[in-house]
Amino acid sequence: MITHVSTGRRLLYRDQIPAGSVLSIDTSAGTVLQDGVADRSGRLVVREWSTVPREGEAEYVFTAPERTDAVLHAQVKATYW
């Protein structure tokens, strides 16, 4: 689960991610890919998208209840709807 600290908005992925795999959540497209190819969008069960202000910052909390070695890497780019 990824939680936006100031709003409490969440992204909740409901599945195990195998060791060594990468889960990519593209908030601009609303997609979820495992290892760049396998569509896992249906397993993102909470989709409370949040925004980062232009030239601003946002704080998130990453919680992985079943794994203690999980790591979150975030990349932010300008997206317009």
Q: Model pTM?
A: 0.81
- Give the phi and the psi of residue 9 in degrees, each rounded to 5: -65, 145
Q: Is it the case that residue 81 has pLDDT exceeding 70?
A: no
Of 46, 55, 44, 48, nearest in space to 77 by CA: 55
Count of beta carbons in the 10 Å neighbourhood of residue 25: 19
pLDDT for 31: 87
What pLDDT, in 10s, does the model give residues 20-77?
Answer: 889 998 877 878 999 998 899 999 999 998 888 888 888 999 888 776 677 888 887 7
